[in-house]
Amino acid sequence: MTPIIGDIIQTVGNLASDLITTEKETRQLEIDEYNAETKRLESQTEINKIEAASSSLWVSGARPFIMWVCGIAFAYASVFEPVLRFAAKVWFGYAGDFPVIDTNLTMQVLFGILGLGVMRSYDKKAGTSK
């Protein structure tokens, strides 16, 4: 009975050693994955440049449209609505409700866009951008 268990353990050990890679192989796999991801991101950057240069409003206008929508929602929620509500209640005695825009999603998008712009500006200033 012992020789059979020993053979099983030896077989499992041999299979495990075949599956375990060396540190050099692991490092090379990580480098290959990094290079593939870098190439994918560079390709996406080129696509973004082509889309931004397009004369079609449907292609090049998507990002500006999102920024305008978020900017208008932010301006309404933080400037126009409070001022108009104040004026309507104080000067005209209006007691009704004003429309409320849920700005959770628009603020997340707007701050994300602004954050990316700040990161890009920092990269240009630091000289780390391409």
90-126 tens-digit pLDDT: 999 888 888 777 778 888 888 888 887 777 777 778 8
Look at residue 20 in the predicted model and tell me its pLDDT: 62
Look at residue 59 in the predicted model and tell me its pLDDT: 65
In angstroms, rounded to a whole number, what is the distance separating the alpha carbons of residues 28 and 34? 10
Closest CA to 110 of 75, 83, 82, 79: 75
Q: How far is CA 64 from the centre of its chain?
A: 17
Q: Which residue has the higher pLDDT, 28 or 2?
A: 28
Q: Please state the domain extents for the chain.
A: 1-55, 61-130
The DSSP code for 127 is T
In angstroms, rounded to a whole number, what is the distance separating the alpha carbons of residues 80 and 8? 77
Q: How many CB atoms lie within 10 A of CB 49?
A: 10
Contacts of 67 (CB under 8 A, 6+ apart): 110, 113
Mean pLDDT of 54-73: 77
pTM strictly above 0.85: no
Q: How many CB atoms lie within 10 A of CB 70?
A: 21
**What are the residue ranges of helices labelled H in 20-103?**
23-53, 57-60, 62-75, 81-92
